[in-house]
Chains A and B, each alone.
Chain A
Amino acid sequence: MKFNREKTVERLLLTVAFSAIASLLLIALFIFKEGVPFILKVGPRDFLLSSDWSPQAGKFGIYPMIIASLWITLGAMLIGAPLGVAGAIFLNEFVPRSVMRIVKPTIELLAGIPSVVFGFIGVVVLAPLIRTHLGGPGLSVLAGAIVLGIMVLPTVISISTDAIGAVPNTYREGALALGATRWQAVHMVVLKAARSGIVASIILAMGRAVGETMAVIMVAGNALKIPHSPLDSVRTLTANIAMEMGQATGMHRQALFATGVVLFIVIMILNSIATAAVRRRIGGKGNKK
């Protein structure tokens, strides 16, 4: 009798275990179901490369937003990646364990700050600064890049720290025993060993930056044009979806879902690259030596 109960429990748990993959498939299904027919109808070339976004007139070109997302993401990585990796190196290599054990969780804690708060600070503190000292409307690519860069910092620091921490001490000791300074040991040996983990963290952060919505809506300006300078106001793919979803119907709504399809694919690609990079490290480590 207990045996039957056990079998039932096992079957139930098996079903539950597929809830994650089932949800993923559902999400992909519905986003694609709403978005792909639209892309096929309008034609991918017109959709992706046209600069004319006028829903009322039935025109749905998202090129400016693609460029905007690109610029802001790259800008964010230019800020977030070096700072993040630097922080990770410093915390792992040049600071006592006890300090690291306090600072790292603190940074992760601070990363829990809602994105809308980041965006708001960008609006009330950063944008006016940019407007006064550099010109332009303030709400710009630059503001977006800076805010996003700060937002992805904890991701980069966290994963890079893990990657650097995973490098065996023997590597460091070997370098030091040959007369290297700590810094030389780090940049000649440790960083090379941790390279794929660090790269993975940057790519993952990129994925987060591309997907960020609320902060960029508040801080990037949302103008519908292709940016020619970092001080221009822009609208990202995510901002476009969020802003127009409320009143969109029919083809307009499908266009927004189509934008979602583009985002989904881009982020899935980024995440796959990141995961592959991590796996290569684990696989590579195993085969070496």
Chain B
Amino acid sequence: MSDAKIVVRRLGVFFGQAQSLRWVTMDVPRNRILGIIGPSGSGKTTFLRTLNRLNDLSPDTHIEGEVLLDGQDIHHPNFDVVALRKRIGMVFALPVPLPMSIFDNVVYGARLAGVKRDKWDELVERSLRAAFLWDEVKDRLHTSGMRLSGGQQQRLCLARTLAMEPEVVLLDEPCSGLDPISTAKIEEALTILKAKYTIVLVTNNTKQAARVADDTAFFLMGEMVEHGPTSQIFTVPRDKRTNDYVTGRFG
């Protein structure tokens, strides 16, 4: 489907000599939530980090195949990596508030991108509302982000990413350390956000994928085994391995 936001064709990712991702081919559909499930070490995070070229930071990596964003090859030598990361935002597994105030956290990326100072207040409010955090912090925007609870910190990270006004939001097991209420808040936010953004959500929790994702991809040992609409993956998967995983036979 060439209407997909991101198109991945025969992607192989190598760390030195070792191949972490084996020839993945799939589409990331626009304005939907794509859930990526699979046991630890399957290459889910590697896949995610390839999409915003964060793997470039690790030494000795190289890729084969192509990743197209709106039809453009993101690994092309002329492609501006910095601009790419403004269009594709990322929320990490462990909440990492930068050691500055909540306000400064949210505007960090936008400020570097050149957004003017007079737009910041509005941007901060909008982003915090979208992350379902505004009401809890609106009175203490200039206190340190590190004082928030785990769930609040993660929503802050989401707000920070949204403030960049990206087109795609990548989330790497964002709820792994969070309590059920915070998890629910983030899932609710994602469901609303997909109207504006394309969302890719890596999760260790198959039930979360079942709840939230429109489409799901199953990764196993560096290979993308199958992908399709969530309902199909969880009820009538084509591959036996997928079936075994989603029914809990292994994990």
Interface residues, chain A, with chain B CB atoms under 8 Å away: 2-3
Contacts of A2 in B (CB 8 A): 82
**Shortest distance from the beta carbon of A4 to any chain B beta carbon, whole Å:** 12
CB contacts under 8 Å to A, within B25-84, are 80, 82
Interface residues, chain B, with chain A CB atoms under 8 Å away: 80, 82
Q: How far is the CA of A3 from the CA of B80 in the complex (A)?
A: 9
Query: Which residue on B lies nearest to A3, using beta carbons?
Result: B80
Contacts of B82 in A (CB 8 A): 2-3
Q: How far is the CA of A2 from the CA of B80 in the complex (A)?
A: 10
**Shortest distance from the beta carbon of B77 to any chain A beta carbon, whole Å:** 12
Q: How far is the CA of A168 from the CA of B82 in the complex (A)?
A: 45
Can you list 3 A-B pairs with a CB-CB distance of less than 8 A? A2-B82, A3-B80, A3-B82
**Shortest distance from the beta carbon of A1 to any chain B beta carbon, whole Å:** 10
**Shortest distance from the beta carbon of A29 to any chain B beta carbon, whole Å:** 36
**Shortest distance from the beta carbon of B225 to any chain A beta carbon, whole Å:** 39
Query: Which residue on B lies nearest to A6, using beta carbons?
Result: B82
Q: How far is the CA of A3 from the CA of B78 in the complex (A)?
A: 11
Q: How far is the CA of A31 from the CA of B82 in the complex (A)?
A: 49
**Shortest distance from the beta carbon of A230 to any chain B beta carbon, whole Å:** 57
Contacts of A3 in B (CB 8 A): 80, 82
Query: Which residue on A lies nearest to B82, using beta carbons?
Result: A2
Query: Which residue on A lies nearest to B81, using beta carbons?
Result: A3
Q: How far is the CA of A2 from the CA of B112 in the complex (A)?
A: 11
Contacts of B80 in A (CB 8 A): 3
Q: How far is the CA of A2 from the CA of B86 in the complex (A)?
A: 14
**Shortest distance from the beta carbon of B83 to any chain A beta carbon, whole Å:** 9
Query: Which residue on A lies nearest to B112, using beta carbons?
Result: A2
Query: Which residue on A lies nearest to B83, using beta carbons?
Result: A2
In the A-B complex, list the 3 residue pairs whose CB atoms are closest, starting with the nearest.
A2-B82, A3-B80, A3-B82
**Shortest distance from the beta carbon of B85 to any chain A beta carbon, whole Å:** 12
**Shortest distance from the beta carbon of B27 to any chain A beta carbon, whole Å:** 30
